[in-house]
Amino acid sequence: MEEKFDAIVVGAGPAGSACGYTLAKAGLNTLVVERGKFPGAKNMWGGAYYGPFLHELFPNFWEEAPVERYIKHRKFSFLTEDSALSVDFTTKKFDEPPYNGFSVLRAKFDRWLASKAEQAGAIVASGLQGDDLLWEGSKVSGIKAGGDDLPADVVVVCDGANSILAEKAGLRGDLSPKDMKQGVKEVIQLPREVIEQRFNLNGKEGIAWESLGTFTKGIPGGAFIYTNEDSLSIGVVVQLNALAEKNVKANDLLEEYKQHPEVASFLKDGKMVEYSAHLIPVSGKAMMPTLYGDGILVAGDAAAMTLATGLALEGANFAIASGAAAAETIIEAKKTGDFSKTTLSRYQTRLEQSFVLKDLETFKKAPHFLENPRLYEKYPEFVCDMAEKIFTNDGKPREKTMKLLKQAMDGRISFLQIIQDLWQIKRSI
Amino acid sequence: MSTMKIEDKLAVNKFDIDKDVHIQLKEEACKNCDVHSCLYVCPADCFKLGESDNITFAYEGCLECGSCRIVCDKDAIEWTLPRAGFGICYQYG
């Protein structure tokens, strides 16, 4: 006889596993399906996880979860072809539990998170794909997976940035390349002590280092390096439509970034052990699908719950929080057995009350601001030129700083543009 | 570190390659395209420009990112995911 689940979750990424865990813990009969051979097999990201939400779900998770290093340093650089201007922030507070962030590799981390769902009583079926939805009239009544019909009271769609099921459910239209960034990354192995020496780290300390600069050739985006225990995650994240319009490959930008004199010495003698790529939904609220329907909810990247402000590019914490919020909504709906759209709309209310939709609302204008091409070429050149002028001693009589500033701006950027951009910063981030 | 080609990068990845091809080009629609954005947005260089300006596609190195599907405005790509358990299998991610 066919088993009917209380809930089926599609995708065992951060959203799906957090959802499956929360549902199972409340005693709901929960199935999580994952198309990869194991949870995490299809997933990649830059590599750092920030924020307290996971700690709320699993207190002191860093003691058992496969985290690589805690983020002790946040470094940011403007790079031109041959120069770099960097800021490196650290504080004693980043040293202390609950820590501000961790570098993480998804193949290990996602497996751990899915194991928490399993321990709570959910069935996690890897190597099983949620191919389509089952319908009873206009209500979703389960999924089709691996040739079988699997009925459930409610389906939670956590199938990632490309979300096939959100599309099939009619909750969103076609995705646009304007709303996506492409991330490409390499994992480069280096001995632990070499990493610690090069980046000036001790023990479990790590660094998250992001850069903007001319290496993206004016394409909105940037590069990152995160230190893992005995490897580096290094990659670029760039606007998908701009790659198409300018006929540029993300990998070429990554290679250019790796060759930068400021970067190359950190990678020396490293062994490349993986090359990965993924899309990131970056337009926030502007691209968000309808989050619920009769018998269905959408969470994580599938719901475009990623915060991109230029200073932050975060998704996993939003995914975990949205997955948990979807579960709480279902647990409540289960009490009356009513999984209609009206009942499930409380999911949206929950998200509006949490940081998930609050942050996305606060920064809803940021994606537009980040399209400004000056951020990726003119400003890096301007600040590096300015720094060079200030720090160079060539024996010639010196100029006053304001005159140097004017020289660095000359022909590159106008006062009016700077004022306009500062105004945009105030409005959007 | 010297510049690495995409095919050399893909060679270190773990793939479980299925016999079924999960992405197909619709020849007619593809023929009428002179933009060829797929050549640039595919991070795995799965699309190649043939001798007669035709696009060819090899699915084996596909990283399943979906970029080609979203960028192709000729609707020339029949895009699905590999069968469950097949395709890219990240060991780090």
SS3 B6: helix
Contact A41 B90 (CB under 8 A): yes
Question: What's the token pair of residue B20?
Answer: 């079924």
**Cα Dmax for chain A:** 90
| Tens-place pLDDT, residues A155-213 | 999 999 999 999 999 999 999 999 999 999 999 999 999 999 999 999 999 999 999 99
Separation in Å, CA of B54 to nearest CA in chain A:
17
Torsions phi, psi for A195 (to 5 deg): -60, -45
Whether the pLDDT of residue A398 is over 90: the answer is no
Q: What is the pLDDT of residue A310?
A: 82
Enumerate the residues of chain A whose CB falls inside 8 A of the CB of residue B16: 37
Segment A216-242 mean pLDDT: 97
Separation in Å, CA of A342 to nearest CA in chain B:
32
Whether the pLDDT of residue A51 is over 90: the answer is no
- Rounded Cα–Cα distance for residues A50 and A328 (Å): 22
Contact B92 A187 (CB under 8 A): yes
Query: For chain B, which residues lie within 8 Å of any Cβ of chain A, measuring from their own Cβ?
Result: 1, 3-4, 6, 9-10, 12-13, 16, 35, 37, 39-41, 43-45, 63-67, 69-71, 81, 83-85, 87-93
Q: Which of B9, B66, B83 sits opposite A272 (nearest CB)?
A: B9
The number of residues making up chain B comes to 93
Q: What is the pLDDT of residue A142?
A: 98
For helices A14-25 and A106-119, the axis angle rounded to 10 degrees is: 10
| Tens-place pLDDT, residues A336-360 | 999 999 999 999 999 999 999 999 9
Lowest mean pLDDT segment, chosen from A141-150, A247-256, A390-399: A390-399
Enumerate the residues of chain B whose CB falls inside 8 A of the CB of residue A177: 41, 67, 70-71
Question: Parallel, antiparallel, or unpaired: how do β-strands A180-189 and A231-239 relate?
Answer: antiparallel
Whether the pLDDT of residue A424 is over 50: the answer is yes
| Domains of chain B: residue spans and CATH | 6-88 (3.30.70.20)
Whether the pLDDT of residue A122 is over 80: the answer is yes
Torsions phi, psi for A128 (to 5 deg): -130, 125
Whether the pLDDT of residue A1 is over 70: the answer is no
DSSP H or E stretch at residue A307: strand A307-308
Give chain A's mean pLDDT: 96
- Rounded Cα–Cα distance for residues B3 and A259 (Å): 8
Segment A44-59 mean pLDDT: 94
Contact call for residues A179 and A46 (beta carbons, < 8 A)? no
Q: Which of A127, A184, A275 sits opposite B13 (nearest CB)?
A: A275
Please give the interface size between A and B, counted as residue pairs whose CB atoms are below 8 Å apart.
133
Nearest residue on chain B to A238, alpha-carbon basis: B41
Segment A265-270 mean pLDDT: 97
The confidence band for B3, taking pLDDT boundaries of 50, 70 and 90, is: confident
Q: Which of A164, A240, A270 sits opposite B70 (nearest CB)?
A: A240
Nearest residue on chain B to A43, alpha-carbon basis: B93
Contact A41 B89 (CB under 8 A): yes
Give this complex's ipTM: 0.97
- Rounded Cα–Cα distance for residues A162 and A39 (Å): 17
Half-sphere exposure of residue B14: CA atoms within 13 angstroms, side-chain side = 12
In 3D space, the residue among A26, A92, A2, A4 whose CA is nearest the CA of residue A324 turns out to be: A26
Segment A408-419 mean pLDDT: 92
